[in-house]
Amino acid sequence: MQAKYKVKVSPPVQLSLDLPAPAGNATEMSGVPIDCSFPESYADELARLEAFNKHLYRPNTYLHKWWARRSGTTFRHILKQLVADPAKRGFYEPGGLEGKVIFDPMMGGGTTLHEAIRMGANVAGVDIDPIPVVQACATLQLHLVSHSKAVFSQFLHQLREVLTPLFQTTCPDCGLGAEVQFLLYGLRRRCSCREALFVDSYLLRENRGDDVKICAGCYGVYAGSNHQCSAAAERPLLERRVRHCPDCDSPFQDVVDQPFSERYVPLVVVGVCARHGQFFKSPGPVDCHHIDEARRLASSLHFGGAEDFQVPGGPKSGDLLRRGIRTFLDLFSPRQLLYIHTCLDLVSDLPPDDRLWLSLLISTSLEFNALLCGYKGSSIRRPGAVRHVFSHHAYSFPYTALENNPVFSGSTSGTLARLFEDRVVRAGRWALKPVETRLSRDRKQQVGIGGEIDGGQLAHDWESLLDGTRRFLVLQADSSNLTVPHGIIDFVVTDPPYYDNVQYSDLSTFFRVWLRQLLPDLADWNYNPLASAVSEGDASGNTKYGEVLGGIWRTCHIALRPDHGRLIFTFHHWKHEAWAELSLSLQRARFALVNRYVVFSENPTSVHIKGLKALEHDVILVLRPTQAGETPPTWPKPSRIESSDSYRFCHDCGSALGYFLASGLSEQLTRQGWQALFLGDGNAEASS
Ligand SMILES: C[S@@+](CC[C@H](N)C(=O)[O-])C[C@H]1O[C@@H](n2cnc3c(N)ncnc32)[C@H](O)[C@@H]1O
Ligand SMILES: [Zn+2]
Ligand SMILES: [Zn+2]
Ligand SMILES: [Zn+2]
């Protein structure tokens, strides 16, 4: 198979763009605008707008899946308040950070880097996880869309040669050949007396009185009420709400002694006929033949050492282990494994720049092409929609599993071509002509920010950030243990993990096991996420959170320019422990609070913050490094934290943080003080 699918492309084209000349350090600032002003209410409005569909507003930051991304508009607002020249400080004015160095020690999705480079800054980003690092490398480099299109079109052509024959079916109306769009599978489960198959629902597609359903007795697929049952199927077909067997009354359980991929049985083929359009049908002989053929082909595939795919122990990976899933290979059907293997073959011959973005695209496509995908297409409003793997920010295990056709020719969700269009073509165009939304009297208007470009030139060391404009340095490292030259950073703008909110590094193993095959030399894929990452939800980890974060703030303290250097980040949390650990981490690194602002943070319905009683704001904390012996600014002693309102809550917590940083209280009293504030007894720390 090896030699057949090599992609031949011309070398990447060098872009020559008419860029505005760097402004250099012409206007040196004294004090920083954000110390005393921030347009809270407009930033809040824009963040509310963007939060629902962030990827549509800033497509170039969204090549690969990453978690807990913040609104780009909020970060643009923050960065604009660092601009010395008032004429360039307006949100819709281009640039303003030329000659400045901006650093994000926990860059995640890379929001800070993208926003700052657009404004002409040189930027540095670090993350302990390799995925943010390779993603930033890929998205901060400028690509010619025509070149990416040429590469992708050859790639897809060769991928289709292998996969399209395996996704052929026949139209139930005319019997002619048709393309499979996706397959639906039912889940095998057992009670004490037998095995049954489960689906989310017998309803496959609402269709105005002619609903498409699957028959529980014979598994026949039919529309309307006109169904003649054929021979009863061997196993009963039940809907997910049935928890106990009606015969033996024992609970149904997963068949954990079988490989995960064999716990699913194909029930429905959804295809498209050139003459009759989309159809739903039971798998016929042609479909069964292709499934068997894929199994035969996949059995001889080799993906490297078994240990590379082992599911590790971890707060989220534990959900896989508890279901008897020990290898990531098991989360894919034979056809999906063939898809991945062919992709691996094809990318191995590409020049490094193209291999990088295409590998990220393939990796992110696995979120739509695994047996963990569910079906949400029964609604008439969104036919065919794939429920992707991390739609709930965790592993979830479908009853009706959906096997997508990644090379389907229609523009449907989760195909590689659709992802390419959204995340590379649209993103590439946007990067050369970024657009912002202007709100005025409930009207939305798209405003091109002429002169800004979302991308720049790769730098290889810190020193080269001191010259030129729009250079970027990205490193994979633990920022609590990182050497940055003294005083070279103007501003640190970041977004740390919010204590125990999302377990990114554990969840992202799902992609890492594949990316290490796709891009073996680009990162350290072996890192242990639990060893040095800022605490991600292990119950015992609350002091570790403050310790690792404290180390990261110390790195920032050393790196920041002592005169106007600022550390600015967003934060929210309902737990006093989170605020206490945050205060201690900043205290250890000798930061003082200069100011705090509050803006809308996330879509309130998002599962990410559901458990936090829909806390819907972030506080933006502005801090400055202090020197030993210096008296930090005082903040009034807070008497209580208002917890009935999300805005006030964040505001009060921000002010209280200022007080604790200046108070000089011991660690124990700081913890007790926060606890007392949250409990409404503002004097507790003084009396204890
Ligand atoms: C909330 S995310 C950042 C989100 C990002 N600002 C965005 O908008 O997408 C926090 C990041 O911190 C990273 N991180 C955790 N511990 C780290 C450490 N010790 N050193 C560097 N990065 C770390 C995580 O991998 C994660 O990507
Ligand atoms: Zn037909
Ligand atoms: Zn039973
Ligand atoms: Zn029937």
pLDDT tens for each residue of 146-205: 999 999 999 999 999 999 999 999 999 999 999 999 999 999 999 999 999 999 999 999
Indicate whether residue 489 lines ligand 1 (CB < 6 A).
no
Average pLDDT for residues 117-141, to the nearest whole number? 97
* Residue to mutate, 133, 481, 534, ligand 1, most ligand atoms under 8 Å from C-beta: 534
Instruction: Report the nearest atom of ligand 1 relative to the CA of 536.
Output: 15
- What is the structure's pLDDT at 232? 85
**Is the CB of residue 297 less than 8 Å from the CB of residue 338?**
yes
Q: Which residues of 183-193 are buried (b: 16+ CB within 10 A; e: fewer)?
A: bbbbbbbbbee
DSSP letters spanning 6-25: ----PPPPPP----PPP-TT
Residue 111 near ligand 1, beta carbon < 6 Å: yes
Residue 11 pLDDT greater than 80, yes or no: no
Alpha helices in 37-110 (DSSP H): 40-51, 54-57, 72-80
Residue 2 has pLDDT above 50, yes or no: no
| Whether pLDDT at 686 is above 80 | no
Whole-number pLDDT of residue 603: 52
Q: What is the mean pLDDT of residues 289-293?
A: 98
Cα of 243 vs centre of ligand 3, distance in Å, is 11
Pocket lining: 497 vs ligand 1, CB cutoff 6 Å? yes
**In the structure, what pLDDT confidence band is assigned to residue 644 with cuts at 50, 70 and 90?**
confident
Which ligand gives the minimal distance to the CA of 505? 1
Determine how many CB atoms are found less than 10 A away from the CB of residue 175.
9
Q: Whose CA is nearest to atom 26 of ligand 1?
A: 108
What is the whole-number distance in angstroms between the Cα of residue 279 and the centre of ligand 2?
A: 9
For range 385-392, the mean pLDDT:
89
Residue 108 CB less than 6 A away from ligand 1: yes
Take atom 13 of ligand 1 and give the residue whose Cα is closest. Answer: 106
- pLDDT at residue number 685: 36
Beta-strand ranges (E) seen in 489-645 are: 491-494, 566-571, 591-600, 617-625
Atom of ligand 1 nearest to the CA of 533: 16
CB 601 less than 6 A from any atom of ligand 1: no
Ligand in closest contact with the CA of 237: 4
Nearest to 474 by CA among 454, 485, 460, 463: 460
Q: Looking at the predicted structure, is the pLDDT value of residue 246 above 90?
A: yes
Pair 104, 124: CB distance under 8 Å: yes
Answer yes or no: are the C-beta atoms of 170 and 177 closer than 8 Å: yes
Band of pLDDT at residue 208, cut at 50, 70 and 90: confident
The answer to whether residues 469 and 99 touch, using CB atoms and an 8 Å cutoff, is: yes
Nearest to 277 by CA among 171, 144, 142: 171
Q: Does the beta carbon of 505 sit less than 6 angstroms from any atom of ligand 1?
A: yes
Tell me if 9 CB under 6 Å of ligand 1. Answer: no
Strands (E), 282-434: 374-375, 386-387, 401-404
653 Cα–ligand 1 center, Å: 22
Q: Which residue puts its alpha carbon closest to atom 3 of ligand 1?
A: 108
Amino acid at 629: G
Does the Cβ of 325 fall within 6 Å of ligand 1?
A: no
Nearest to 510 by CA among 329, 246, 379, 301: 329
Report d(CA 621, CA 531) in Å as an integer.
Answer: 27
- Mean pLDDT, range 340-356, rounded to an integer: 97
- If pLDDT is split at 50, 70 and 90, which confidence band does 417 have? very high
Report residue 501's pLDDT band, with 50, 70 and 90 as the boundaries.
low
Which of 64-68, 290-294, 684-688 has the weakest average pLDDT?
684-688
With cut-offs at 50, 70 and 90, classify the pLDDT of residue 575: confident
Read off φ and ψ for residue 471, nearest 5 degrees.
-105, 150
pLDDT band at 20 (very low <50, low <70, confident <90, very high): very low
pLDDT band with cut points at 50, 70 and 90 for residue 688: very low
502 lines ligand 1 (CB under 6 A): no
Cross-strand bridge partners of residue 168: 179
Closest residue by Cα to atom 1, ligand 1, is: 497
Per mean pLDDT, which range of 82-86, 340-344, 388-392, 513-517 is the poorest?
388-392
Of 337, 417, 488, which Cα lies nearest the Cα of 160? 417
Atom of ligand 1 nearest to the CA of 61: 9
Mean pLDDT for the stretch of residues 510-529: 91
Banded pLDDT at 502 (limits 50, 70, 90): low
Nearest-CA neighbor of 266 among 384, 184, 375, 369? 184
Across residues 403-419, what is the average pLDDT? 94
CA distances from 182 to 167, 375, 605, 634 (A): 9, 10, 29, 62
Q: Whose CA is nearest to atom 2 of ligand 1?
A: 108
Phi and psi based region of residue 68 (left: phi greater than 0; alpha: psi -120 to 50; beta: remaining) = left
pLDDT (tens digit, 9 = 90+) per residue, 452-487?
Answer: 999 999 999 999 999 999 999 999 999 999 999 999
pLDDT tens-digit series, residues 583-624: 999 999 999 999 999 999 865 433 343 334 568 899 999 999
Residues 627-636: tens digit of each pLDDT: 988 887 889 9
8, pLDDT greater than 70: no
Q: How many residues does the chain have?
A: 688
Q: Give, for ligand 1, the residue of 74, 106, 111, 553 to mutate: max count of ligand atoms closer than 8 Å to Cβ.
A: 106
Q: Is the CB of 548 under 6 A from ligand 1?
A: yes
Structure confidence at residue 536 as a pLDDT band (50, 70, 90): low
For residue 330, report the distance from its CA to the centre of ligand 3, in Å: 28
With pLDDT > 90 as the criterion, what percentage of the chain qualifies? 75
261 alpha carbon to ligand 3 midpoint, in Å?
Answer: 23
Q: Of 126, 127, 479, 573, which is best to mutate to test ligand 1, by the most ligand atoms within 8 angstroms of its C-beta?
A: 127
Ligand 1 contact via 106 beta carbon (within 6 Å): yes
Cβ of residue 534 lying under 6 Å from some atom of ligand 1: yes
Per-residue pLDDT at 631? 81
Mean pLDDT of all residues belonging to the chain? 89
Rg (CA), the chain: 27
Grade residue 531 by pLDDT with cuts at 50, 70 and 90: low
pLDDT for the residue numbered 559: 98
Residue 267 in contact with ligand 1 by CB distance below 6 A: no
Ligand nearest to the CA of 215: 4
Closest-approaching ligand to the CA atom of 529: 1
Average pLDDT value for residue range 663-680: 92
